[in-house]
Amino acid sequence: MNGSTWWLDVLPLSLLAGVIGLDVVSFPQAMISRPIVAATLGGAFVGAPFAGLVCGAALECLALEALPVGASRYPEWGSASVVAGAVAATGATAGGPAGGPAGAMPLAGAFVVAVALGIATAWIGGLTMIKHRQIIARFARPRLGQLAAGNRNTVVGLQVFGMTLDLVRAALLGAVCFIPGHLLAVQVNGRWSVPEDLSRAIVVTCVAAVAAASVWKDFHAISGTRRLFLISLAVGTLMVVLGA
């Protein structure tokens, strides 16, 4: 991301955040809103997909704790991960570690800021989703009669209104959170003194602890989870070995 033209990325990133945020609940629920996907796309939009991928993997560990079901309250990881992935790329395309901009690791300062920003944005996004539902409810209440009668225009109008509002909600959230996040990452990168590898190791250890706690809870709550986990671990390990 060029330091003098980073603001040009705000509009496409906000649109991406809007689309990804729409996927969380409204449409199409195709799993592109999972952090590891959304953050990679966010990083790719600013020229550093690998930095976004690393950030997304960390956020994915945290998102395992949340189960978005029905009207329950949960963090909105989709648009938050887009923002975090783009912020993690700060500095990675201009003097980042070897391997080329696209394959550069995130700088430690930007990585820490991105993970923290992703958590904060997901929490704020969860609050905006509650407000989104309340607005839809107010919009639908005067039309309950038509909805009960199955009026096609009313049903379609409510769906379009809800999805449009959700798209705007996530896009605004992405823009509002990305701008200060990028500026903070630039400042932190310039002042970060903890060794790069140690910084990343600390973040990874923290998120891995959260993921381990989530998986351990599922072991006791969902039948067959241990077997599926062991199979997935074996397949993943085999792929890493063969890829190396």
- Digit-coded pLDDT (tens) for 46-85: 989 999 999 999 999 999 877 666 666 789 999 999 999 9
Residues 26-52 have a mean pLDDT of 92
CA–CA dist 80, 15 (Å, integer): 13
Instruction: List, for residues 90-121, the tens digit of each pLDDT value.
Output: 987 544 444 455 667 889 999 999 999 999 99
Does residue 80 form part of some domain? yes
Does residue 214 form part of some domain? no
* Whole-prediction pTM: 0.86
Quick check: 29 and 117 in contact, CB under 8 A?
A: no
Number of domains observed in the structure of the chain: 1
CA–CA dist 48, 51 (Å, integer): 6
Does residue 211 form part of some domain? no
CA–CA dist 139, 161 (Å, integer): 9
Q: Residue 89 in 3-state DSSP?
A: coil
- What is residue 95's predicted lDDT score, i.e. its pLDDT? 43
Q: Is the pLDDT of residue 221 over 90?
A: no
From residue 154, alpha-carbon distances to 27, 148, 162 in Å are 19, 10, 12
Instruction: List, for residues 155-207, the tens digit of each pLDDT value.
Output: 999 999 999 999 999 999 999 999 999 999 999 998 999 998 899 899 989 99
Lowest mean pLDDT among 8-17, 81-90, 180-189, 223-232: 223-232
* DSSP state letter for 93: T
Residue, of 9 and 42, whose pLDDT is higher: 42
Does residue 182 form part of some domain? yes
Does residue 169 form part of some domain? yes
Does residue 102 form part of some domain? yes
- Domain that residue 166 falls in: 6-194
Using the structure block, give the residue that is written with the tokens 């648009």: 79
Lowest mean pLDDT among 132-136, 168-172, 194-198, 213-217: 213-217
Does residue 63 form part of some domain? yes
Does residue 203 form part of some domain? no
By C-alpha distance, which of 65, 39, 68 is closest to 130?
A: 68
Residue partners of 191: CB distance under 8 A and separation at least 6? 109
CA–CA dist 80, 178 (Å, integer): 9
**Quick one: tokens of 148?**
């009960």
Using the structure block, give the residue that is written with the tokens 């820490």: 112
